Chain A
Amino acid sequence: MPSTSRLHPALAAVAARAASAGSPAVLFNVSHFGVGNGSVAPLPSTDIAPPTEQDHVATETLAFHPAAAGFQVHTWAPETPHKPVGGVSISRIAVGPQVDERNLACHLYGGSVVINPNFLYDPAHSTEILLTLGYETWQPDYADSLMIARVYQGVAAAAANGDGVPILFLQSPVAPFRDPPGRFREDGSGEAPRVANGMAMRVLIGLDEGHPQKRIALLGKISDLAQGYGLGLQIADRRFGRVRGEWWSVLAPDADRYAAAKAELFGWAPPGVPESVQLLTFVGPARVGSSAAIAADLMARNIGVLAVSAATLQEIAFINVMTPIAPARLTDTPTSGTCLPIVEGLGQVASDCGLTRRQGVRVRSRIGETAATDYQVLSTGPVSPRIAASAEHPLWLSWIIPLEHDAAKRPPDVAQLVLAQLCEAADRVAGGRIDYYRVRVLADGRVRGRAKVSVSLTEGIVRTHIPALLSELCAWAQREVVATLVRDHVPLRTIRLRLAWRERWLGRVSTVM
Chain B
Amino acid sequence: MVSNAALTTRARSRTASRDRLASFLVALRQTPIPTSPPPHDSQQEALGLNLLALALRLEHIDRMSEALTLADSTHMARSVSIDVNMTVLTPEQIHALRSDPSGEYRPAAVWVPVARQSRTDLAPVVVRNAAGEVVPRLTQVETAHALIHGMSKAFRMFLNSDPRTEDPGELLHDIRHGLNRSRWLIEATIANMIDTGGRHSSPVSARSARHRATDSDSIRDKAARAVEDLFPDDSPFLRLLDIAASEYLLVAQVRTNKTQAFLRYDAPVLPARDRDLRGRATIARWGTFQHEFTVRYSTVIPRAVNSYHVTLEVPPEIQVRRFFLTSDVDAPALRTLVNDMRAVADSYQQLQGVSPKLLELELQGIVSRLAEFGRRRYRDLESFMAYIEDCYSTFSRRRPRFPARTEPPATITPAESLVPQRRIITGLGHLSHQYETDNLRKLADGSLGPETLNQWADALTASQVYSDIYVDNDPRENAGHAHWQRRPFGTDHQSVEPVSATVYMALVDDPPSLASNVSKLLLAVLLLVVGFGMVLQPQLFQHIPLLGPIGEKVGISTDGGPISSADAIVTMLLLVPGLMLSRLDIPSNKSVLGRLRIFPRYVAYTTVFVAGGLALTVASARSDHLAVPFVVAMAALLVLAVLVLVDGVTKAVKRRGRVPRSHVSPTWLISEIKRKPGRRKRCAANFSTIGPDDHA
Q: Which residues of A contact B (CB under 8 A)?
A: 1, 4-13, 15-21, 24, 77, 91-92, 114-118, 120, 122, 124-125, 209-213, 215-217, 219-220, 223-224, 235, 237-243, 248-251, 285, 373-374, 443-445, 507-508
Contacts and interface: CB of A to CB of B under 8 A. Distances in A.
Interface in B45-77: 45-46, 48-50, 52-54, 56-57
B240 A210 contact: no
Contacts of B339: 209-212
Given A16-B53, A213-B343, A238-B365, A6 B157 contact: no
A117 B49 contact: no
Nearest to B370: A240
A444 B87 contact: yes
Interface of B: 13, 17, 42, 45-46, 48-50, 52-54, 56-57, 87-88, 90-93, 95-96, 150, 153-154, 157-158, 160-161, 163, 166, 234, 236-237, 239-240, 243, 332, 335-336, 339-340, 342-344, 346-347, 350-351, 354-355, 357-358, 361-362, 364-365, 368-369, 371-372, 490-493, 495-497
B355 A213 contact: no
Given A8-B56, A24-B160, A250-B357, A216 B362 contact: yes
Nearest to B150: A19
A9 B150 CA distance: 14
Nearest to A244: B491
A484 B371 CA distance: 44
A225 to B, nearest CB: 11
Contact of A239 (B166, B239, B335, B364): B364
Contacts of B372: 240-241
A239 B495 CA distance: 19
Contacts of A240: 365, 368-369, 371-372, 490
Nearest to A21: B92
B236 A216 contact: no
A389 B23 CA distance: 64
Contacts of B88: 443-444
A107 to B, nearest CB: 27
B343 A216 contact: yes
Nearest to B339: A212
Contacts of A117: 154, 157-158, 161, 237
B496 A9 contact: yes
Given A4-B234, A224-B354, A250-B358, A12 B56 contact: yes
Best-surrounded residue of A5, A11, A223, A249 (most CB of chain B within 10 A):
A11
A216 B56 contact: no
Given A16-B53, A223-B358, A1 B150 contact: no
B49 A16 contact: yes
Contacts, number: 181
27 contacts: A7-B239, A9-B53, A12-B49, A13-B57, A15-B153, A16-B53, A17-B92, A19-B42, A20-B50, A20-B92, A117-B154, A117-B161, A124-B492, A209-B336, A209-B339, A211-B339, A216-B343, A216-B344, A217-B347, A220-B350, A220-B354, A223-B354, A224-B354, A237-B361, A238-B362, A241-B491, A373-B163
Given A20-B95, A115-B161, A12 B358 contact: no
Contact of A116 (B46, B56, B92, B161): B161
Contacts of A211: 339
Contact of B53 (A4, A13, A212, A249): A13
B240 A8 contact: yes
A128 to B, nearest CB: 13
Contact of B163 (A21, A77, A374): A374
A415 to B, nearest CB: 24
Given A220-B351, A224-B354, A240-B369, A16 B93 contact: yes
Best-surrounded residue of B48, B53, B496 (most CB of chain A within 10 A):
B53
B236 A120 contact: yes
B497 A6 contact: yes
Contacts of A91: 166
Best-surrounded residue of A13, A92, A217, A444 (most CB of chain B within 10 A):
A13
A16 B93 CA distance: 8
A343 to B, nearest CB: 14
Nearest to A216: B347
A216 B348 CA distance: 10
A15 B244 CA distance: 14
Contacts of B346: 213
Contacts of B236: 4, 7-8, 10-11, 120
B157 A15 contact: yes
B493 A125 contact: yes
A122 B351 CA distance: 26
Contacts of B361: 235, 237-238, 248, 250
A374 B361 CA distance: 39
B50 A19 contact: yes
Contact of B45 (A9, A19, A118, A243): A19
A20 B54 CA distance: 13
A212 B453 CA distance: 14
A249 B358 CA distance: 9
A249 B160 CA distance: 45
A6 B344 contact: no
A212 B336 CA distance: 8
B301 to A, nearest CB: 15
Given A12-B49, A209-B335, A223-B354, 8 more contacts: A8-B239, A10-B236, A11-B154, A11-B237, A19-B45, A19-B153, A20-B92, A220-B358
B496 A6 contact: yes
Contacts of A16: 46, 49-50, 52-54, 93, 96, 150
Nearest to A442: B90
A211 B166 CA distance: 33
Nearest to A7: B236
Nearest to A119: B161
Contacts of B153: 15, 19
A36 to B, nearest CB: 35
Contacts of A125: 493
B343 A24 contact: no
Contact of B364 (A21, A92, A238): A238
Closest 9 CB pairs of A and B: A124-B493, A238-B365, A12-B53, A240-B368, A7-B236, A16-B49, A8-B236, A212-B343, A16-B53
A239 B154 contact: no
Contacts of B96: 16, 19-20
Nearest to A81: B42
B496 A10 contact: yes
A416 to B, nearest CB: 26
B690 to A, nearest CB: 14
Contacts of A241: 368, 372, 490-491
B226 to A, nearest CB: 15
A125 B489 CA distance: 13
A12 B157 CA distance: 12
Contacts of A212: 336, 339-340, 342-344
Given A1-B234, A117-B158, A216 B46 contact: no
